[in-house]
Structure 1
Amino acid sequence: MPDHSILYPHHVGRQYPAWLRSFPEFIRQGVDSPARTEGIRSIFVDNDYWRCPAGNGNLKLKPQQRFELILNRQSRFKWDETYIPSTLAVPREAPKGSRISRLNSRKLGRSIHVLSTPERVFAQLALYHPELIDLHEQKMLSPVRTVHPLHGHSLASGYFPTPMTGTLEIAKSIGFKHHEIAVDLPDGQRKKMPFPYQGDLLLFMRKGTDAPYAVNWSVKDVSGAFAERRLRRAKTPLQQKKDQDHARLRAQLEAEYYSRAGIKTHQVSLDLIPEALIANLDLLFAMHDLPLTLDPTLLDEFSQELGVFFEKGLRISDLANRYGARWGFRDQFLARFYQDIWARKLDVCMFEPILIDHPLRRKEKDLLEVYGSLFEEQAS
């Protein structure tokens, strides 16, 4: 097998500050003094340049630029650093036609970069789970052997998870042709290198005081997309067969990549989620980290009365109007109502529209019970 150690996974060469490693090579090469380092930081970091690296505007990245960017962001990740996904939700990096969005998560303290509506919905579902401790979107599937995703996590101290087998080895074992690109190496040579695949959502969970574990979600718009690539395109029978084989082997590649390290992969699609639940997740997530300026004691009092109104089947709008008339800021009281649902303090049914001017229905079955199997650890 060719030696890819020059690029995977720990590039040998000049050591840069952690915050600088995700930037393009032409920027990093310009850092030749402490003063220049601070100048680069003030220009790019303080101005959030990393969201659209390697140039300005919406011009798409070239394959080698994308290749280097993914490696710079992913191959050196440490748990004491902020996670940066392989692909950011910006026009320059996202695939053509993507419905990109960034979800600001209070729990994780950063923005989640999702590249499609299904990814957005399932990311919100994951963030709703109280046992979620972290989420890595657009995670690189390493072409070569590497450490387990939980390696080095503070909660995994004393736990020695199985290393990850590289996708090159797995692809060979299942008869799948690994994607490659031509890369210009520092010595002037041009060489074919395996281009890293990406997963969608990698969840990190922890039940009580148990050791943390990971669950992989592969996300599509419809379940049929797992069986055939480019499902909606018109194609010949031969091309359809090729696309079906590619989809099957690509899914098998990802599932085996994680299963060999004891990580379960679930294939999830938007057609598994009712429209009312999608709307409720969008609404609640948008409100969950909204800053409230009212006195915390007053908000706690409002929350207590919310529980009474909910139990009695009274309209939440009446309570919010009463508090708003007395204290002002009616919208903040409504935001607190939505935040209490997100925090699972009110047992509201998530499968029906949440309407403040109608009595709310109590949930018959918990949302996390309905989709609980998606969060379960790999059976031993």
Structure 2
Amino acid sequence: MEKHRLTESRYRTILRRQLTPTFGPGYEPSIKACREEAPAKSSPATVWSDLLQREIHTLSEPERYVLAVLLYCPWLVDLQEQRMLPNVPAAHPLEGHPLAGPMELKRFRGTLAVAADLHHMHFHPVVTWTTEGKEKRETPGCWIGDFLVFLKDAQGLYCVNFNVKQSRGEFTVPAVGVTVKTNMRRATVRETGRHEVEKQVYAEVGIRTVEVAADELPSILVANLRWAQSWQRRKHGLSTAQQQIVLDALNDGLDRYESALDVMNGVEVSHGIDLYRQKIVLAHGVMARKVRLDLFECHFFIDKPMLPEQQDVLKVFADWFRRPT
């Protein structure tokens, strides 16, 4: 989504957090999902990730829709939200990642150089500074992306950049920051140019950009994934053997189209594992792909018959996660 204008103080904060962004639990996004930082008309919220051991900061419902699918991917090893696009030459995002190992990595040229090549310099963000002599000076600012994901396959680590909008048309015609006085022709050119720069900046270092329209995602899938993810911070405290008892029972019940509630009641009687802990195991099992429920056709309810998986999320969204060719 398009971020709010940068003030001098906000830009200093972004540079402090993003000039050398860290990985995992220590990562700080350019904009946090709080009232003091989020754009006025945004919908900020955080989503806990057990993998990252931190809250992920989102600024819109479309971002949370996309994040639901991203967090389901078993190849995901890291994620950086609200990441600054460097305006000057900078290191590749994988530089220094603890799982990267020895790799030949290209460096960013920066958005200033790319925007100049694409004749979009007149739309590049600027920041107005106040000097000690109270003079106003303008210097280049930065654009901020949505999600940069770090994935691992047999060949090693690679990144994919995700640009998120509510609808496909918003990649051309902006919906945020538009009023009746907006010159829509100019706004459309600016919006298109901004996305061209972002894609090119990442393409030059071997990173694909995937443009996602949230309204094209299956709403039932998103709802089911968000239900499972909402349990990720809860701990069941069960041993590995006890977890396996619950998972085996759930998968047996899944084959017989039983409800999860009936299965869990049986396990509570036979093994003394309370219902609450079993619910946590179920949600964690769905996210770990150990319980392969149908996620596309119907909303999951604990007291309704469980339906086996008909479509694999990873196959449906395979293009999102593929390594660049």
TM-score by length of 2: 0.91
Alpha-carbon distance between aligned partners in 2 of 1:362 and 1:256, rounded to the nearest angstrom: 41
Kindly state the Cα deviation for residue 321 of structure 1 after the two structures are TM-superposed. Answer: 2.2
Equivalence map 1:211-360=2 (5 Å): 211-230=156-175, 235=180, 239-324=183-268, 327=272, 329-351=274-296, 352-360=298-306
Alpha-carbon distance between aligned partners in 2 of 1:354 and 1:95, rounded to the nearest angstrom: 34
Q: Kindly indicate whether the alpha-carbon contact (under 8 Å) linking 2:21 and 2:27 is maintained by their aligned counterparts in 1.
A: yes
Kindly state the Cα deviation for residue 296 of structure 1 after the two structures are TM-superposed. Answer: 4.4
**Corresponding letter in the other structure for 2:265:** N
Kindly state the Cα deviation for residue 245 of structure 1 after the two structures are TM-superposed. Answer: 0.8
Q: Kindly indicate whether the alpha-carbon contact (under 8 Å) linking 1:228 and 1:246 is maintained by their aligned counterparts in 2.
A: no
Q: Kindly indicate whether the alpha-carbon contact (under 8 Å) linking 1:61 and 1:93 is maintained by their aligned counterparts in 2.
A: no
Q: Which runs of 5+ in 1 are unaligned?
A: 1-59
Alpha-carbon distance between aligned partners in 1 of 2:308 and 2:99, rounded to the nearest angstrom: 36
Q: Which runs of 5+ in 2 are unaligned?
A: none
Kindly state the Cα deviation for residue 285 of structure 1 after the two structures are TM-superposed. Answer: 0.3
Equivalence map 1:1-380=2 (5 Å): 63-79=7-23, 82-176=26-120, 177=122, 178-185=124-131, 190-208=136-154, 210-230=155-175, 235=180, 239-324=183-268, 327=272, 329-351=274-296, 352-379=298-325
**Corresponding letter in the other structure for 2:279:** L
User: Secondary structure of the equivalent of 1:206?
Assistant: strand
Alpha-carbon distance between aligned partners in 2 of 1:312 and 1:358, rounded to the nearest angstrom: 12
Cα-to-partner distance string for 1:268-297 (whole Å, 9 max, x where unaligned): 011121111121111010112311134543
Q: Is the alpha carbon distance of 1:84 and 1:328 closer, same or farther for their aligned partners in structure 2, counting shifts above 3 Å?
A: same
Cα-to-partner distance string for 1:166-204 (whole Å, 9 max, x where unaligned): 111111111212111211356876421111110000011
Q: 1:36 is matched with which residue? A: none
Quick one: percent identity of the two aligned structures? 27
**Corresponding letter in the other structure for 1:313:** Y
User: Secondary structure of the equivalent of 2:32?
Assistant: coil
Q: Kindly indicate whether the alpha-carbon contact (under 8 Å) linking 2:68 and 2:222 is maintained by their aligned counterparts in 1.
A: no
Kindly state the Cα deviation for residue 252 of structure 1 after the two structures are TM-superposed. Answer: 0.3
Alpha-carbon distance between aligned partners in 2 of 1:233 and 1:194, rounded to the nearest angstrom: 23
Q: Kindly indicate whether the alpha-carbon contact (under 8 Å) linking 1:280 and 1:353 is maintained by their aligned counterparts in 2.
A: yes
User: Secondary structure of the equivalent of 2:137?
Assistant: strand
Alpha-carbon distance between aligned partners in 2 of 1:146 and 1:79, rounded to the nearest angstrom: 16
Kindly state the Cα deviation for residue 63 of structure 1 after the two structures are TM-superposed. Answer: 0.6
Q: Kindly indicate whether the alpha-carbon contact (under 8 Å) linking 1:229 and 1:246 is maintained by their aligned counterparts in 2.
A: no
Q: Kindly indicate whether the alpha-carbon contact (under 8 Å) linking 1:151 and 1:160 is maintained by their aligned counterparts in 2.
A: no
Kindly state the Cα deviation for residue 242 of structure 1 after the two structures are TM-superposed. Answer: 1.2
Q: Is the alpha carbon distance of 1:135 and 1:80 closer, same or farther for their aligned partners in structure 2, counting shifts above 3 Å?
A: closer
User: Secondary structure of the equivalent of 1:87?
Assistant: coil
**Corresponding letter in the other structure for 2:275:** R
Q: CA RMSD in A?
A: 2.3
Q: Is the alpha carbon distance of 1:155 and 1:294 closer, same or farther for their aligned partners in structure 2, counting shifts above 3 Å?
A: closer
Kindly state the Cα deviation for residue 329 of structure 1 after the two structures are TM-superposed. Answer: 3.1
Q: Kindly indicate whether the alpha-carbon contact (under 8 Å) linking 1:266 and 1:374 is maintained by their aligned counterparts in 2.
A: yes
Alpha-carbon distance between aligned partners in 1 of 2:104 and 2:135, rounded to the nearest angstrom: 39
Kindly state the Cα deviation for residue 356 of structure 1 after the two structures are TM-superposed. Answer: 2.1
Alpha-carbon distance between aligned partners in 1 of 2:239 and 2:158, rounded to the nearest angstrom: 38
Q: Is the alpha carbon distance of 1:232 and 1:152 closer, same or farther for their aligned partners in structure 2, counting shifts above 3 Å?
A: closer
Alpha-carbon distance between aligned partners in 1 of 2:172 and 2:105, rounded to the nearest angstrom: 31
Q: Kindly indicate whether the alpha-carbon contact (under 8 Å) linking 1:224 and 1:231 is maintained by their aligned counterparts in 2.
A: no
Alpha-carbon distance between aligned partners in 2 of 1:337 and 1:229, rounded to the nearest angstrom: 41
User: Secondary structure of the equivalent of 1:204?
Assistant: strand
Q: Which moved more, 1:260-269 or 1:314-323?
A: 314-323
Cα-to-partner distance string for 1:198-256 (whole Å, 9 max, x where unaligned): 00000111103x221110000011111101112795647x8221121111101101101
Q: Kindly indicate whether the alpha-carbon contact (under 8 Å) linking 2:24 and 2:52 is maintained by their aligned counterparts in 1.
A: no
User: Secondary structure of the equivalent of 1:119?
Assistant: helix
